[in-house]
Each structure stands twice: as C-alpha cells, then as structure tokens.
Amino acid sequence: MLLRKSDLKKGNNFQFIIFGGTGDLAHRKLIPAFYNLLDRDLSGEDFSVIGIGRRSENREEYLNSLYSSLEEALSGKVKEDVWDKLKQRVDYIKADFKESRTYEDLKDYLNKIDDKGEGDRIFYLAVAPNFFDLIVDKLDEYDLATSSGKGWRRLVIEKPFGHDLESAKRLNKRITQVFSEENIYRIDHYLGKEMLQSILVIRFANLLFEPIWNNRYIDNVQIISTEPYGVKDRGRYYEKAGALKDMVQNHMFQILSLIAMEPPAQMETKDIRDEKVKILKSLIEGEDGEVDSWAIRGQYGEGEIRGEKVISYRDEDRVDNSSNTDTFAALKVLVDNLRWSGVPFYIKTGKRLPEKVTKVIIEFKSDFHPAFLKGDEPRPNLLVIKVQPEEGVYLQFNAKEPGSDAQIIPVKMDFCQNCQVGLNSPEAYERLIHNVILGDQTLFTRWDEVEYAWRFIDKIADYWNENKGDFPNYRAGSVGPEESKELLEMEGRRWWD
Ligand code: BG6
C-alpha cells in the first residue's frame, strides 16, 4: 500500500499501453505520474509507455504535447534529465481504438519489443466509458489479454464503472471473461489520496480513538467534498452522471467504508476489501418514507465564484437547457450494524460551491457536566480529517478562555501534514500506477464493492429520474440548496464546513 523502494525492482520490465493516450487524463495525470515515479527512482527503468491516440501526428508531436502538460503540472519545474529518461521510454501509435487494424498494429509492435511474451503488460483504458467493453473485446479477439510467455496482463479501468447496477454487471461480466479479477484494477482515484490511507492508521494505530469509534460516543459523521468548478467541458458525460453517480457512488462511499469498517484481520488487500464491502452491504436509508426526506439534490443556477460571474448549469456546453441532472447531492444514510446503529452519516458533494475542499468530520456526543450546560453550550468535540487541499487532521476540544472566569472556547490540536517542510505527498495517480505495477489491489475497488454501491445508489437515482427536480435551486457560489441545511437542522445538527 505504501510507496517502498524495496518493492520496486519486481516486475519492472513492463509495457504500459494507454488507450486515450492523447487525452486529458494521460496528459494531466498519467505521464506526470510516470515522471514522478522515475524521479523518485520508483518505477525501475526497464519499461515503455505506449500512447494510442489520434490527436498527435507522430511521436515527436506527441512528446512535445506531453512536455507542455508536464510543464503545466509541475509549474514549469521539469527536470530535464528526468524528462530525457522518460521520453526515451515513451512511444506513440497514431490509431483509432475503434478499428481492428489498431490491435493488429499494436500486436506487431509489442511482438517486436517482446517476442517471447516475457514482459508484463498493463492496458490502461483512459477513454470514455462507452468504449470500455469494445476495447476489452478487441484485446480478447487479438489475443492481447493473455500471455504466451510468463509475463502478466493487467487491465486498468477508469470510472464510471457502469451507469447503474445493470450496466455495471454487464460490463463486469464482459471484462471478467477476458481478465481475471486479480488482474482488473478499477480506479477510484480518491483511494490514492494520502489522507484516505491515513484513515486506517488514525483509527487502528491509536488507542485513543478506537474505543470511542462507535454509536456510544459518536453523534454523527460528515463526509464533505465540494468544488467551485462547474462541469468544464464534460457536459456530455455529466448530463448522464450527475453528482450522485459522479462522486457519491464511488469516492464518497469509499471514504465512508474506510471510516465505518471493522478492523481487518490483517492489513492485507483481501481483508481490507472484505470489511469495506460489509459496510456497503449494511447501508440503509436515513429515514423511512420518500427518498426526498433523506436525499437532497440540487442544480446550480448562475451566480458568482470568487467575484466572477458564472453561468448556470443549464447554460453549460452540451447540457440540455431543461436538464434534470443533479450537480449537488446531500444524503443522510445509516450503517445498519452493531457499531453504528443510529449514527447518521451525512454526505455532501457539489459543484459551484464556494471552496475546493474534502474532509471528514467525526462529531462526538455532547454529554457535558450539567454545570456547563447553563448558558452557551460548549461545542462538541470534533475529529476532522482533512483530505484536500490541506492534508492533515485536527481535534477540536473545549478549554477555558484564558483570563475569563469560566468562559469556554473551542481549541484545536492540529496536524497539518502538507505544511511539514520536505513532506510532499505523492499525487494519487502516482501511487495508483505504482501499485498496479507492483500488483497491489488494495487501492482499487473490487467488483462486489462496486455492486453494492450501485444497489444503494440506484434506489435514489430511480426516484430522481421519475420525479423531476425543481431546478435550478441554488446559486453558483452559495452553500447549496436550503434543504441540505434543513436535513441536519431538523435534527438539531449542523454541517461543520
Ligand atoms: C472525478 C469527478 O472523479 O473527481 C469530477 O468525475 C470531480 O467531477 C473529481 O471534479 C474531483 O476529484 P479531485 O481529486 O479533484 O477532488
């Protein structure tokens, strides 16, 4: 799970084939990840990256465009010696992945550099989700998914994995006919974030927290991930997804399962995944009755972000002007097991909200000495796990205001991880790619996790499809629809963001 130099030299003779090699993900995330791995001496040197795409005419043009994005990703600080090493290992095939010829060419190409099939291969699908099964079909048809020698073949597949339970099942059936589950890496890039991995350490390496990590001491848990951006140029995809499917089904549920899971028998991939999936199986609605009483949706209208006017969702490029798509979702869900019975988990995510921030707030119960319940009640204790942009964790507790008679004020014990000099967390994709190379699946979602997440999300999505939203219902730059505040206020609670 952690980046370790000692693990590295394993499996370092590999070919990394990117379908969608000229796309945004390859430029912004995958190539910078390889650059960083090389820079940290974590990838070995015996590998090649083969981009398949159509936008660049030839290898030279491809390398130039990768270099420009690298400059952008590293704010102009590209180390020329590292880039020189990387570019020698990057090749380009100008081709359309929808055409059979592409796979013939790829096969010839790979046979030329590795005729005995001894090298390992990673096929990375950085393409629109409707092409996932087509590419897997072709890899199968051209016998690229199995090895004639001793090299392994792995498939890395971006999200979204299906758009509902049925489509996810179909996709899974197809890809598992070609690749075995231990060779399938379903990306949820949030799992590559430093603080998500820290959750298990915070929980299980501190005597302080584990005894009170349950419904006797915890009042509620809040998982919040907001961003000021709109849908940018992804209108076509987002129209079919919306906040619920784009963020909650995957990233937010993964965070929830790490916060709520039981201690795994061992800190091993299977044990951790087994415990996470139990949580996804135990999710239930936050309230009896209609979905509207525990799942709030929103869509942004026009407004202002950091002083700049922005357009409404319905006016975005490739968005229907009467769209029913949610750009905001706030849920109250329960984990129906002994540890969590009765503790609400509130989830909130949305676009065009004031800040880019992801955090988890554990609010403890407010059982104070009666003497402190007169007048202003003290604030509850909070444990806040800051995922981004700041990484760290703080504990809020109460103290006497210095100099006052008995005034109580909340104070913080704060650990800011990325404020520490010299500590530079690896980017999520860097860690994820590294783990694919090592064959560690811990930070990837297993099929049953995807399945149970969809089971739950489908209930909400079906209801939202059948009952149109009253949109737009929040201004860009605001904190979201009023109903999301009410979801907590009705129960005497508040969001802590
Ligand atoms: C992606 C979603 O999975 O995550 C995007 O498709 C969202 O809509 C993004 O903006 C957020 O990721 P991060 O790492 O910037 O928080």
Last residue of one domain, picked from the residues 158, 176, 199: 158
In a domain, 415, yes or no: yes
pLDDT for residue 75: 87
Is residue 298 within 8 A of residue 474, CB to CB? The reply is yes
Last residue of one domain, picked from the residues 107, 133, 158: 158
Q: Same structural domain for residues 233 and 142? A: no
pLDDT-derived band of residue 201, with 50, 70 and 90 as boundaries? very high
Domain count, the chain: 2
pLDDT for residue 43: 84
pLDDT for residue 231: 94
Q: Same structural domain for residues 206 and 154? A: no
Q: Same structural domain for residues 103 and 207? A: no
In a domain, 302, yes or no: yes
Ligand 1, atom 6, lies closest to the CA of 246
In a domain, 184, yes or no: no
Last residue of one domain, picked from the residues 158, 181, 203: 158
In a domain, 398, yes or no: yes
CATH number of the domain to which 325 belongs: 3.30.360.10
Q: Same structural domain for residues 281 and 345? A: yes
- Residue of 29, 157, 189, 356 best suited for mutating to test ligand 1, as the one with most atoms within 8 Å of CB: 189
Q: Same structural domain for residues 107 and 218? A: no
Instruction: State the closest ligand 1 atom to the C-alpha of 227, by its place in the atom list counted from 1.
Output: 10
Instruction: State the closest ligand 1 atom to the C-alpha of 388, by its place in the atom list counted from 1.
Output: 16
Mean pLDDT for all residues in the chain: 93
Distance CA 252, CA 249 (A): 7
In a domain, 112, yes or no: yes
CA of 318 to the centre of ligand 1 (A): 19
pLDDT for residue 12: 61
- pLDDT tens, residue by residue, 321-365: 999 999 999 999 999 999 999 999 999 999 999 999 999 999 999
- Residue of 244, 251, 327 best suited for mutating to test ligand 1, as the one with most atoms within 8 Å of CB: 251
Q: Same structural domain for residues 278 and 208? A: yes
Ligand 1, atom 10, lies closest to the CA of 227
Instruction: Please give all residues whose beta carbon lies within 6 A of any atom in ligand 1, as ranges.
Output: 159, 227, 246, 358
Q: Same structural domain for residues 201 and 98? A: no
In a domain, 80, yes or no: yes
CA of 419 to the centre of ligand 1 (A): 23
CA of 423 to the centre of ligand 1 (A): 24
- pLDDT tens, residue by residue, 51-103: 999 999 999 999 999 999 999 988 889 999 999 999 999 999 999 999 999 99
Q: Same structural domain for residues 149 and 205? A: no
In a domain, 333, yes or no: yes
CA of 281 to the centre of ligand 1 (A): 25
DSSP state of 337: S
Each as own residue / partner, the long-range contacts of residues 461-470 (CB below 8 Å, 24 or more positions apart, any chain) are 461/164, 461/244, 461/245, 463/290, 463/291, 463/292, 463/295, 464/242, 464/244, 464/291, 464/295, 464/297, 464/324, 464/326, 465/324, 467/292, 468/324, 469/297, 469/298, 469/299, 469/324, 469/326
3-class DSSP assignment, residue 86: helix
Q: Same structural domain for residues 310 and 423? A: yes
CATH number of the domain to which 92 belongs: 3.40.50.720
Residue 407, CA distances (Å) to 365, 377, 397, 398 in order: 20, 11, 14, 10
- Which phi-psi region, left, alpha or beta, contains residue 465 (left: φ > 0; alpha: ψ -120 to 50)? alpha
What one-character-per-residue DSSP string does 162-202 give? -SSHHHHHHHHHHHHHHS-GGGEEEB-GGGGSHHHHHHHHH
Q: Same structural domain for residues 152 and 200? A: no
Q: Residue 322: which domain range?
A: 191-489
What pTM does this model have?
Answer: 0.94
What one-character-per-residue DSSP string does 430-480 give? HHHHHHHHHT--TTB--HHHHHHHHHHHHHHHHHHHHS------EEETSS-
CA of 354 to the centre of ligand 1 (A): 16
Q: Same structural domain for residues 147 and 205? A: no
pLDDT for residue 438: 92
280 has a pLDDT exceeding 90: yes
In a domain, 67, yes or no: yes
Q: Which residues are catalytic?
A: 251
Q: Same structural domain for residues 143 and 223? A: no
Instruction: State the closest ligand 1 atom to the C-alpha of 193, by its place in the atom list counted from 1.
Output: 14
